[in-house]
Amino acid sequence: TKIHVVVPAAGSGRRMQSAVPKQYLTLSGESVLSHTLKRLLAALPALSTLTVALSPGDEQGRALLRQLASDYPGKAITTAPGGAERSDSVLNALDALRDVAGDQDWVLVHDAARPCVRGDDIARMMAVLSETPDVDGGLLAAPVAATLKRSDSEDCIMETVDRQQVWAAATPQTFRYHALRQALLKANEHEISVTDEASAMEAVGAKIKLIPCQPDNIKITWQGDIAMAEAILKSQ
């Protein structure tokens, strides 16, 4: 089984309220996307392919990938067209892999906007998956520290959610090529909105292992997250 990495990086970053999409904000002198891709390449020496979904006309992304392809000559580093939703971007990347990926190959999907992911967490996820043959895949997730409330439509508390069994889903999320593609196609067909790959796999009844990761694997979403990510990178 080969290892493929897919990075959806075709978001417009609406919540960031910035002219620059969040994957191209500057983090410690380099773009967020550059940090993210270098971390993945370093964490997974065994990866065969890295496919990044880019918006049409994203020349900055193309230039970065050309550079990485020349820095990592043994790896197939390519782009795929971004889609309307994250799941469309991932499906386009999976389609681009059609001729090289085997049905049982692992695909790790990782957010472009998570540059602080730790290599040892990724390595542990791959080890857990190979030692646990009865699961269909897994994802990095952080235990939740906050006290969680469920609210009604008037923002009044209905209940406190037991955080013992609550996790904040992160990425990478790792599934078999064929199963992931089928699950995403099915979610599309039934117009189920999925904000991560695990949601699509859950909907088809997959058994998915949560692998604890450091809570500093943050997704850059809001303006203040850049300063936080810089502090995290310094501290790691």
Three-class SS state of 19: coil
Q: If binding is defined by CB under 6 A, does position 23 make contact with ligand C5P? A: yes
**In whole angstroms, what is the distance from residue 80 CA to residue 201 CA?**
22
Question: Considering the complex, what minimum distance in angstroms separates the CB of residue 55 from ligand C5P?
Answer: 8
Contact 194/139 with Cβ under 8 angstroms?
Answer: no
Question: Considering the complex, what minimum distance in angstroms separates the CB of residue 80 from ligand C5P?
Answer: 10
Contact 179/206 with Cβ under 8 angstroms?
Answer: yes
Q: If binding is defined by CB under 6 A, does position 170 make contact with ligand C5P? A: no
Binding mask 37-76 for ligand C5P (x = CB under 6 A): ----------------x-----------------------
7-15, 58-66, 136-144, 157-165 -> range binding ligand C5P (CB under 6 A): 7-15
Q: Is the peptide bond before 143 cis (omega within 30 degrees of 0)?
A: no
Q: If binding is defined by CB under 6 A, does position 93 make contact with ligand C5P? A: no
37, 61, 111, 125: which one binds ligand C5P (CB under 6 A): 111
Q: If binding is defined by CB under 6 A, does position 157 make contact with ligand C5P? A: no
CA 160 to chain centre: 29
**In whole angstroms, what is the distance from residue 177 CA to residue 161 CA?**
34
How many of the chain's residues bind ligand C5P (CB under 6 A)? 17
Helix (H), strand (E) at residue 211: strand 208-212
**In whole angstroms, what is the distance from residue 4 CA to residue 103 CA?**
12
75, 85, 119, 212: which one binds ligand C5P (CB under 6 A): 85
Comparing CB distances to ligand C5P, the nearer of 84 and 157 is 84
Identify the bridge partners of residue 175 per DSSP, sorted by sequence position.
107, 137
Interface residues toward ligand C5P, by CB under 6 A: 8-11, 23, 53, 82-86, 89, 111-113, 219, 221
